[in-house]
Amino acid sequence: MSEQTDVDRDAGAARVTVLRPHRHLFTRGIVAVLALTTPVFAVVYWLTIPGPGWPFVLAAHLVVIAATVVGVASFLNTTISVGRDGVRERGFFGRTVHVAPGEAGAVILVQVYESSTLDVLPQLFVASDQGRLLIRMRGQFWSQADMERVIEELDVPVTRPEEPMTLNQLRRTWPRLLYWFERARLGR
């Protein structure tokens, strides 16, 4: 479950709820980085320490550590804030999107099949009146409760297809809401 934080602004004037991605993703990411880099660097250090090549290995190791620190900071700063002034998303790469009250034209909450399985995860799409994607929340990162909280704040009629959809069905129904690489049909 994702973490929620209530923050008071101006001595209780407006309440803002801060939603955060699933915490288990952070743990999995750190474990994956350690599992992939530790054995590799241990072997490379062991092979290069007697010779002159070890400073290059150390430099590469420091680059990997720096990239990991940047990734950790980006994950910890990824939030969706929900309050009276609308919904504000700060994405993994630092992009901030603010959806003011009345700006959202469509909200779609759909259950999507996960690649070649019968498992489904929710995806929430918030689009403008012109159909431009404003905010997307995927079930891999956000809980259903977080999505419902965003829906509640936007106060826009929600489209909830009754049956789960495949990516192909989603592509045919709402292509503009998908990322560019999801719109491409790779295997026909």
Amino acid 10: pLDDT: 47
Is the distance from CB of 109 to CB of 158 less than 8 angstroms? yes
Is the distance from CB of 82 to CB of 113 less than 8 angstroms? no
Amino acid 63: pLDDT: 95
Average pLDDT of span 149-169: 90
Amino acid 185: pLDDT: 67
The region of weakest confidence among 20-24, 40-44, 80-84, 182-186 is: 182-186
Q: Whole-model pTM above 0.85?
A: no
Q: Going from the N-terminus, what domains does the chain have, and what CATH number goes with each?
A: 101-183 (3.30.420)
41-95 pLDDT per residue, tens: 999 999 998 888 889 999 999 999 999 889 888 888 899 999 888 899 998 888 8
Euclidean distance between CA atoms 104 and 87, whole angstroms: 10
More confident residue, 20 or 180: 20
Mean pLDDT over the full length of the chain:
86
